[in-house]
Amino acid sequence: KRPVGVPDKSLARKVTKVGIIGAGLMASQLALLFLRRLQVPVVLTDLDQERVDKGVGYVHAEIDKLVAKRRMDEGTAAKLRQLVSGSVDKSVFADADFVIEAVFENLDLKKQIWAEFEKIVKPEAILATNTSSLSITEMAADLEHPERLVGFHFFNPVAVLPLLEIIRGEKTDDATLATAFEVGKTLKKSSVLVKDAPAFVVNRLLTRVTSEIFQAVDAGTPLDVVNVAMDPLGLPMRPIALLQLVGPAVAYHVGETLHAAFPDRYVDSPNLKRIVDSKLPVMVDKEINPEVVALLQVGDA
């Protein structure tokens, strides 16, 4: 049954090539997922060749792991290795019909990227953003064709978590939304249509947890204590391990968006900022990093 607000699938466009903007952790996981499920050419781009090579290298390494675990046969693996490529030359996006962006969580940067890519891709290509928190309507505001931008938000680890938040901006048209839902189905994700509101649905809840946890830290509760405090809820992961998985910088930037929208509900924690600025891993060998603990200060919340 078609969920409320989702246009008929007859409006969906065919996707024969996927372009991925970014080659970081999220972007590389997306490349692997699109490659496995759509089995069409997938091309990655990033600022320099080193990043591009790292992204493509991740995809190759994950394919090798799937073969080793006997979850993929060698024939499929060989085909997929041929289909994935990376380039700093953005013109390789010219014939992509579905372009997804997974770069740093900054509205101006994302707007700048879309302005640039809109000139490269064909007019009917769908533009999807994996933003964790930013407004799709604002991101599309200066585009020549804002109707083809849609929010397409995945969760870490992408290969495991089934949810996909699909976000319709004010100008997103039916063909774009129908294509997004059809692609979501091919990716075997459970797609939900959510409103274009700060951080959509899932990250509002997760960021509220992080915000409360860090208010306790800012007030002086040790990090290892707040980390176990939610065990009674039976969450799949403790909050600091989740912070490491998501990346403190990503969590902080989602928090900034939510703090700006709802200052009473989301606190801008000085200790979380210290962790982000240090660039240190929060977890080392499944333990909280003592160097991170040493950074924390009490009482300036």
Task: Name the segment binding ligand 3HC (CB under 6 A); options: 78-86, 168-176, 242-250, 267-275.
Answer: 242-250
Provide, rounded to whole angstroms, the least separation between the CB of residue 95 and ligand 3HC.
29
Give the helix/strand (H/E) hosting 164. Answer: strand 163-168
Q: Which stretch binds ligand 3HC (CB under 6 A): 74-82, 154-162, 257-265, 287-295?
A: 154-162
Q: Mark 192-231 with x for binding to ligand 3HC (rule: CB under 6 A) and - for no binding.
A: -----------x--x-------------------------
d(Cα 120, Cα 78) in Å, to the nearest integer?
30
> Applying CB under 6 A, does 84 fall inside the site for ligand 3HC?
no
Query: What residues between 21 and 80 interact with ligand 3HC by CB under 6 A?
Result: none
Candidates 11, 40, 161, 283; binder of ligand 3HC (CB under 6 A) is 161
Closest distance to ligand 3HC from the beta carbon of 216 (Å): 20
Q: Which stretch binds ligand 3HC (CB under 6 A): 12-20, 186-194, 225-233, 234-242?
A: 234-242
d(CA 125, CA 94): 9
Cα gap 54→43, rounded to integer Å: 13
Which residues, in sequence order, are bridge partners of residue 101? Answer: 21, 129
Distance in Å, CB of 251 to ligand 3HC, minimum? 7
Q: Looking at 159, 225, 260, 298, which residue binds ligand 3HC (CB under 6 A)?
A: 159
* Phi and psi, residue 10, nearest 5°: -65, -20
Longest alpha-carbon distance in the chain: 59
3-state secondary structure of 84: strand
Question: Dihedral through CA 192, CA 111, CA 260, CA 280, nearest 10?
Answer: 90
Examine the residue annotation and report whether 259 is marked as an active-site residue of this protein: no
| Interface with ligand 3HC: number of residues (CB under 6 A) | 14
Structure tokens at 55: 């992204």
Instruction: Give 232-236 contacts, CB < 8 A, sequence gap 24+.
Output: none
Catalytic residues: 153
